[in-house]
Amino acid sequence: MKVTVVGAGAVGATCADNIARKELATELVLLDIKEGFAEGKAQDMMQTATLLGFDTRITGSTNDYSKTAGSDVVVITSGLPRKPGMTREELIGTNAGIVKGVCENILKYSPDAIIIVISNPMDTMTYLALTATGLPKNRIIGMGGTLDSARFKYQLSQHLGCSPADLNAVVIGGHGDTTMIPLIRFATWNSVPVTKFLSEEQQKQIIADTMVGGATLTKLIGTSAWYAPGAAGAALVESIVRDEKKLFTCCVSLNGEYGQKDIALGVPVTIGRSGWEKILDFGLNADEQALFNKSADAVRNMNDVLKTL
């Protein structure tokens, strides 16, 4: 099994580190456009192999996609963060060019690869990867909802005083502060609805804190988070390479599911060796469906920027 992570920044390097520690691949390639950056990160990680006890072979590459040849799974983290004064259109325009170029180069050497998109704005970049590559839709997966759901479980665990591992909870919709939808009605603590243990006020607070989870961390540490995003990407890689059929919220192509078409949006899907394998319909009530439609409208407006590029 061979896995490539494109982008050796904090998120990409953390994702690669998790993949290596879990020995999810025989060979792991870390690629970056900055001269020597990926090579240095790869060498640093390889020097932990004897300390951590893994046998994955990690190599770095400065923009040489031939070294990624034969990859089974490719994680794309490359792209620029939004800077002060930068418009939404400018961010999408810049990152669209990067993500499109990465996809083209990856598929030149790994035509059968499954692609996991982490680059932001993630829903739009996933949609771009779908439309630009023409790949079967099950082979393009946006990571966002996996991270948002992990943050939801964290917030629930803080209020319940329990282990996050005992919780099942999902966030659907767009990967953004105003577009994600934490489905607290479906959240359970070892099969018991969490709403039995939480007041209405607590539930509202948990939902609000989940939705600004990324912004909260950016305010605290001065940059975007990387541990949880990197781990979320690695969790999807694990479910693919081990054919685990685990249920995650992922940004995938919709064709009528949840009432939406011609869009990539976060919904519950099973992840296995062929990519995402099926979408689960949770049966949203009227209020939840209205929120989902509103989220889709916002993401579709972002996607419309692609038409101007």
**Host H or E run for residue 167:** strand 167-168
User: In terms of Cα–Cα distance, which of 100, 35, 108 is closest to 65?
Assistant: 108
User: In terms of Cα–Cα distance, which of 245, 272, 267, 225 is closest to 118?
Assistant: 225
Tokens, residue 30: 């870390």
Is 175 among the residues known to form the active site? yes
Block residue for tokens 């209405």: 200
| Residue burial 65-96, b: 16+ Cβ < 10 Å; e: rest | bebbeebbbbbbbbbeebeeeeeeeebbebbb
Total Cβ atoms within 10 A of residue 16: 32
Residues 250 and 31: beta-carbon distance below 8 Å: no
Block residue for tokens 């001269």: 35
Pairing of β 114-117 and β 140-142: parallel
Residues 72 and 1: beta-carbon distance below 8 Å: yes
**Host H or E run for residue 69:** none
Measured CA to CA in angstroms, residue 196 lies from 70, 156, 165, 192, 199 at distances of 50, 13, 18, 8, 8
Measured CA to CA in angstroms, residue 268 lies from 20, 27, 146, 209, 265 at distances of 27, 30, 9, 21, 10
Choice among 41, 100, 139, 175 that is catalytic: 175
CA dist 187 and 193 (Å) reads 6
Active site residues: 175
